[in-house]
Amino acid sequence: MASSQEHTVKAFDQDIGQLRGLISQMGGLAEAAIGNAMLALQRGDHELAAQVRADDKKIDAIQHEVERAVVRIIALRAPMANDLREVVAALKIATVVERIGDYAKNIAKRVPQIESEHRIDPISTLPAMARMASDMVRDVLDAFAARDPDAAIAICERDDALDDFYDSIFRTLVTYMVENPKTISQCAHLLFVAKHLERIGDHATNVAEMIHFAAHGTPIAERDRSDDVATSPFSSRS
Amino acid sequence: MSNNPPKMTASHVDVSYGTNHAIRDVSIDVYREDVTAFIGPSGCGKSTFLRSLNRMNDTIPTARVSGDIRLDGEDIYAREMDVVQLRARVGMVFQKPNPFPKSIYENVAYGPKIHGLAQSKGELDRIVERSLTRAGLWNEVKDRLSDPGTALSGGQQQRLCIARAIAVDPEVILMDEPCSALDPVATARIEELIHDLRGRYAIVIVTHNMQQAARVSQRTAFFHLGQLIEYGDTSDIFTNPRQERTKDYITGRYG
């Protein structure tokens, strides 16, 4: 992405370093938020859920810090070429990571609404899906830190597996609702949780695309998805 | 970016001053519809190359230019080329404004007079007014045309020099760091003027200010150590240069 050489004006390197540090920090918080939200959901732990919601404010605050840093760098350093692309990518990545944090918060918000005494079985498969999503977030931000567009592209490939996971959970939950209407409310919440996790994967993919753009100045060639688009009404791909 | 034939073409141009080989094998096309910026670190040869486009290097005894430079297909280094005529067709604006120690009017009227472009005083007046208007200076000086050109502010003097270049109806205007002696407001006015003149004349500008190159030009050429490293769309050069050396230079990693 950037050349190995330092800028003649060293303070510029410090500014970029600070920006990258903020993104890593945000990513760490978002990843923790997903993990804690799912843990709270699994255990019916309202306190932990409340903590996730409170911690989301930290992610929002860092996002604003990133915005200020980017505006300052553009105004004071007039970045060009790969520097400019990286700064723009950082701004967009911060927005995306903030959205990921919102999804985790949204999952946490559902915890108190799910009756803990009649917890249905699919709730036990959701954490595996969450790990998959949260690993994508962690790895894509590692790729950003390492300025490694190839690693970023590899993460996009994993989004299909996450989509398949969502489809399977969708089917299971619909079956539950049909068989036992009493679970409809809980299933609806879990369906949203699964959808949020699926969206988190999409956002990780967006981050990967920005890392590619920052490195090469071109968008990732559109992956060929014609073979699996809308094959079932449960498909998460639209 | 135009698809019309280039206004000027330079092919395999080498320039040396004595033993100093300042430009090596540079080939570049300049288009009437576009402003072309030459950028690069000091001593990269961009000004030397610019000066070879209207044979200003002829005035330096040790300078030798080889290769092929053409204006509308005509070899400008050909024996039969009239250099005075060439410099009317390919005008030049320098780093420091250099008005003649004469009135504002005379500064602009001088060229058309010696080239016999005006048949009457009325016609000359019209050329002076039109040139000063195109250079964005008319409204500021129309009531004091007999004042000395040197009495104007730096930015006004530079616009006077542009008016002087325009007055002989050139096809190409070469500008060698035309804003480096001006304040930001005067600089902005020159940049606006370059924008207005675009399309009427092929404009080539040498600048140390990369933001200026980005603002005023459609094509940018990056020179380094006498070689042309990269030449392309200004937006590509500044957002996604192909060459590592271009990238290092424009991102401030040079050296």
Helix, strand, coil % (nearest 5) of chain B? 40, 25, 35
SS3 B227: strand
Helix/strand/coil for B11? strand
Grouping H, G, I as helix, E, B as strand and the rest as coil, residue A230 is: coil
CA B201/CA A127 separation, integer angstroms: 67
Name residues whose C-beta falls within 8 Å of residue B32's C-beta, 6 or more positions apart in sequence.
B2, B4, B7, B171, B199, B201, B202
Residue of A6, A12, A81 lying closest to B238 (CB–CB): A81
DSSP state of A226: T
In order of their start, the domains of chain A are 10-216 (1.20.58.220)
Q: Quick check: helix, strand or coil at residue A220?
A: coil
A171's tokens: 């089917």
Residues of A in contact with B37 (CB under 8 A): none
What is the reported pLDDT for A4? 56
Answer yes or no: do A81 and B247 touch at CB < 8 A.
yes
Cα gap B43→B21, rounded to integer Å: 11
Domain boundaries defined on chain B: 8-250
The minimal CB distance from A82 to the residues B210, B247, B255 is found for: B247
CB atoms within 10 A of CB B170: 20
Number of residues that make up chain A: 238
A85 contacts B251? CB cut-off 8 A:
no
**pLDDT values of chain A reduced to their tens digit, one per residue, 238 residues:** 445 578 888 888 999 999 999 999 999 999 999 999 999 999 999 999 999 999 999 999 999 999 999 999 999 999 999 999 999 999 999 999 999 999 999 999 999 988 666 777 777 789 999 999 999 999 999 999 999 999 999 999 999 999 999 999 999 999 999 998 888 989 999 999 999 999 999 999 999 999 999 999 988 876 544 344 434 444 444 3
A3 → chain B, closest CA residue: B248
SS3 A102: helix
Residue B250 contacts A, CB cutoff 8 Å: yes
Q: What distance in Å separates the CA atoms of residue B138 and residue B45, rounded to the nearest whole number?
A: 35
Q: Which residues have C-beta within 8 Å of that of residue A153, sequence separation ≥ 6? A: A208, A212, A220
In this prediction, residue A116 carries a pLDDT of 61
Closest alpha carbon within chain A to B235: A81
- Cβ-defined contact of B252 to A9 (cutoff 8 Å): yes
Q: Which two tokens stand for residue B149?
A: 């050109």
Pairwise CA distance, residues B169 & B179, whole Å = 22
pLDDT of residue B77: 96
Cα distances (Å, whole numbers) of residue A191 to A114, A123, A136, A167, A206: 12, 10, 20, 10, 23
User: Which one, of B57, B113, B54, B59, lies nearest residue B86 by Cα?
Assistant: B54
Kindly tell me the burial class for residue A148, based on how many C-beta atoms sit within 10 Å of its own C-beta (0-12, 13-18, 19 or more): middle
CA atoms within 13 Å, Cβ hemisphere of B228: 22
CATH code of domain B8-250:
3.40.50.300
**What residue of A is the nearest CA neighbor of B238?**
A81
Q: Which residues contact A236 (CB under 8 A, 6 or more apart)?
A: A163, A166, A167, A170, A195, A198
C-alpha–C-alpha distance, residues B172 and B197, integer Å: 11
Quote the pLDDT of residue B254.
73
Phi first, then psi: give them for residue A226, nearest 5 degrees: -60, -25
Judge whether A81 and A213 are in contact, CB under 8 Å: no
Tokens of B114: 């010696």
The answer to whether B42 contacts chain A (CB < 8 Å) is no
For β-strands B74-75 and B202-206, DSSP reports them as unpaired
Cross-strand pairs, B233: B219
d(CA B219, CA B213): 9
Determine contact: B115 vs chain A, CB below 8 A: no
CA distance A152 to chain B (A): 20
Alpha helices in chain B (DSSP H): 46-52, 83-89, 104-114, 121-134, 138-141, 154-167, 184-197, 210-216, 234-239, 244-250
* CA atoms of B97 and B160, how far apart (whole Å): 8
- Token readout for B216 is 């005023």
pLDDT reported for residue A220: 83
> Residue holding tokens 């007046």?
B125
Report yes or no: B216 and B205 within 8 Å, Cβ to Cβ: yes
Q: Tell how far CA A95 is from the center of its chain.
A: 10
Q: Which residue spans within A92-216 are E strands per DSSP?
A: none
- What the block records as the tokens of A152 is 């970023």
**Across the 255 residues of chain B, what is the mean pLDDT of every consecutive 10-residue run?**
84 94 96 96 94 93 95 95 95 94 97 93 96 94 96 95 95 95 90 93 95 95 97 95 94 79
**Cβ neighbours of residue B150 closer than 8 Å, sequence gap 6 or more:** B99, B101, B157
SS3 at position B19: coil
Q: Distance between CA atoms of B211 and A85, rounded to whole angstroms?
A: 16
CB contact under 8 Å between A81 and B251, yes or no, is yes
pLDDT number for residue A233: 45
